[in-house]
Amino acid sequence: MIHLQNIRKRFRRPGGGWFDAVQDTSLAITAGEVFGLIGFSGAGKSTLLRLINLLERPDSGAVIVDGQDLTAMDAPALRRARQHLGMVFQQFNLMANRTVADNIAFPLEIAGWSKADIAQRVAECLEVVGLSDRAQHYPAQLSGGQKQRVGIARALAPRPKVILADEPTSALDPKTTQSILDCLRDINQRFGVTVVIVTHEMHVVRSICHRAAVLDAGQVVEVVEVSDGKVDARSDLARSLLEAA
Amino acid sequence: MEEMTFAAALADLAGMAPEIWQACQETGLMLGVGLAAAILLGGPLGIWLYLSQPGQLFANRLVNGVLGWTVNLVRSFPFIILMVSLVPLTRLLVGSTIGPVAAAVPLSFAAIPYFARLVEQTLREIPRGVVEAAEAMGASPLQIIIKVLLNEARSGLISSLTILTISFLSYSAVAGVVGGGGIGDLAIRYGYYRFQTDVMVAMVLLLVVIVQIIQLLGNRLAARLDKR
């Protein structure tokens, strides 16, 4: 579903010089799996995620999603492709002046859906995340966990094949974290949506991922398999992340 | 000048009612044209100023530099000097340099960069992540501007417009004195040149009331639109 081929990305440091956020990385993520990107701060995991929908453009390499090379697209084609790539953020990034329902409707308005279709789809998505009774509330009236549910519903609304989740639970308490993870797993299982999730917590990987890439200094150290909540880790880094959890 | 009683002052003012009403209309006309120019031209300019900043949608150091410099340039002129400098342009556009329509030209000229700065400052308060989310969902630049930036900033934009209106009520008095008419002009002509202090006091009171009303309406509307 997602192929990253020899991706490099560097940023100019504020003080001068360069920071290699992602160094010659290749990764293949299979359709229908929940794939984790895990590492300590600064390992390049968020950058790698943002490269998948080209919020960051790679300096070299190709990003192929669902058979399409995003790096070769012009701006309008990329915008259309992004409409099938949902994204969930650590800080939710909801629009404060739109109601819950209107936030979820946003990607559908962008994609040119009719009003009737939007209303129906918004209701479905609210149902999926269990917030049907909050449709007319504004984000400021919601708890953190509820805001993230709206974020997930918004990502889900245009029936994407992939949802990219950037530390979706890092701003939440442990109990809420679990409910958000359950929600993502539910969406993965019911709708077959491929989920790529960035986290620094091995707990998140154990809880919902099928596989995860362990990142350090902009490189993939190892791709671990998760079965029955157990992580088969070989590298020292993966083990230290396991112990930290 | 004879000593004036309150009753005499009222009678005096009542006799001037048609002139006062005309002055109000002239002020309204000057403000209306100036604010319309500010919204229609200053608004887009402010959006462009914001979007050309580093890290924004149309980040471009050169464009941002040129726009910022130009805005600062126009804003550096003391208003009265801007008016005098623009006399040829005013004559070209309106065919005259006297009257509220003529005065609206320099007023608009000053209002455009003023409002552009206010819009830019207001837009800066929108969290970058919200715009980024819209980008990630495949929104076009125009959709981001209209559906995200302007909608998220709407309450701040109303507050900015309130500030602009009140500032330009004051500017319109300056413009009025140089042939534009309006409330400020009336106050100067009668209150200052003819020593009719009652007219001066009445006009200032009128302006005080207008300012209070504008601020009140602006605050109310801004609060109603703000769901943050």
pLDDT per position as a tens digit, A197-226: 999 888 899 999 999 999 998 889 999 998
Read off the CATH number of the domain in which B103 is found: 1.10.3720.10
- What's the pLDDT band for B2 if we cut at 50, 70, 90? low
pLDDT of residue A227: 83
Rounded Cα gap, residues B67 and B53, in angstroms: 11
What are the structure tokens assigned to B5, written together? 């009683």
Rounded Cα gap, residues B84 and B97, in angstroms: 10
- What's the pLDDT band for A238 if we cut at 50, 70, 90? confident
In-domain check, residue A102: yes
Query: For residue A89, which residues of chain B lie inside 8 Å, CB to CB?
Result: 129, 132-133
pLDDT in tens, B10-37: 888 888 889 999 999 999 999 999 999 9
Lowest mean pLDDT of A141-155, B1-15, B177-191, name the range.
B1-15
Contact A63, A69 (CB under 8 A): yes
- Name the DSSP letter for residue B187: I
Contact A122, A105 (CB under 8 A): yes
Query: For residue A82, which residues of chain B lie inside 8 Å, CB to CB?
Result: 135-138
pLDDT in tens, B197-208: 888 899 999 999
pLDDT in tens, B158-181: 999 999 999 999 998 888 877 788
In-domain check, residue B159: yes
- What's the pLDDT band for B224 if we cut at 50, 70, 90? very high
Q: Work out the mean pLDDT of chain B and round it to a whole number.
A: 92
Does A152 contact B at CB distance below 8 Å?
A: no
Interchain pair B152, A97: CB under 8 A: yes
Helix axes B100-124, B154-175, angle to 10 degrees: 150
Rounded Cα gap, residues B47 and A24, in angstroms: 38
In-domain check, residue A180: no
In-domain check, residue B179: yes
Report whether pLDDT(A161) > 90. yes
Helix axes B100-124, B43-51, angle to 10 degrees: 30
Contact A63, A76 (CB under 8 A): no
Rounded Cα gap, residues B43 and B156, in angstroms: 13
pLDDT of residue A244: 66
Query: For residue A81, which residues of chain B lie inside 8 Å, CB to CB?
Result: 138
What are the structure tokens assigned to A54, written together? 């080209």
Q: Which range marks the domain in which residue B79 is found?
A: 24-183
Percent of chain A with pLDDT over 90: 75
Rounded Cα gap, residues B37 and B34, in angstroms: 5
Rounded Cα gap, residues B186 and A160, in angstroms: 66
Interchain pair B132, A91: CB under 8 A: no
Rounded Cα gap, residues B179 and B185, in angstroms: 8
Shortest CB distance from B136 goes to which of A82, A96, A139?
A82
In-domain check, residue A176: no
In-domain check, residue B164: yes
Q: Tell me the three state secondary structure of residue A63.
A: strand
In-domain check, residue A99: yes
Beta bridge partners of A22: A9
Q: Which range marks the domain in which residue A140 is found?
A: 95-155
Report whether pLDDT(A89) > 80. yes
Does A106 contact B at CB distance below 8 Å?
A: yes
Interface of B with A in 139-158 (CB under 8 A): 139-140, 143, 147-148, 151-152, 154-155
In-domain check, residue B206: no
Report whether pLDDT(A48) > 80. yes
In-domain check, residue B169: yes
Report whether pLDDT(A242) > 90. no
Domain count across chain B: 1
Mean pLDDT of B56-62: 92
Does A137 contact B at CB distance below 8 Å?
A: no
Query: For residue B227, which residues of chain A lie inside 8 Å, CB to CB?
Result: 96-98, 138-140
Rounded Cα gap, residues A157 and A18, in angstroms: 38
Whole-Å CA distances, B216 to A210, B166, B221: 58, 12, 9
- Nearest in space to B123 (alpha carbons), one of B33, B40, B57: B57
pLDDT in tens, A122-139: 999 999 999 999 999 999
In-domain check, residue A37: no
Long-range contacts of A121-129 (CB under 8 A, 24+ apart): A121/A157, A122/A153, A122/A157, A125/A153, A125/A154, A125/A156, A125/A157, A126/A100, A126/A101, A126/A153, A128/A153, A128/A156, A128/A183, A128/A186, A128/A187, A128/A190, A129/A153, A129/A156, A129/A183
Rounded Cα gap, residues A100 and A132, in angstroms: 10
ipTM value:
0.92
In-domain check, residue B14: no
Helix axes A144-156, A100-110, angle to 10 degrees: 20
Interchain pair A83, B137: CB under 8 A: yes
Rounded Cα gap, residues A157 and A218, in angstroms: 32
What H or E segment, with its residue span, contains residue A211?
strand A211-216
Beta bridge partners of A4: A27, A63
Rounded Cα gap, residues A222 and A234, in angstroms: 8
- Name the DSSP letter for residue A135: T
In-domain check, residue A113: yes
Domain count across chain A: 1
Report whether pLDDT(A153) > 90. yes
Q: Tell me the three state secondary structure of residue A51.
A: helix
pLDDT of residue B133: 96
Does A98 contact B at CB distance below 8 Å?
A: yes
- Name the DSSP letter for residue A73: -
Rounded Cα gap, residues B131 and B57, in angstroms: 9
Mean pLDDT of A98-110: 97
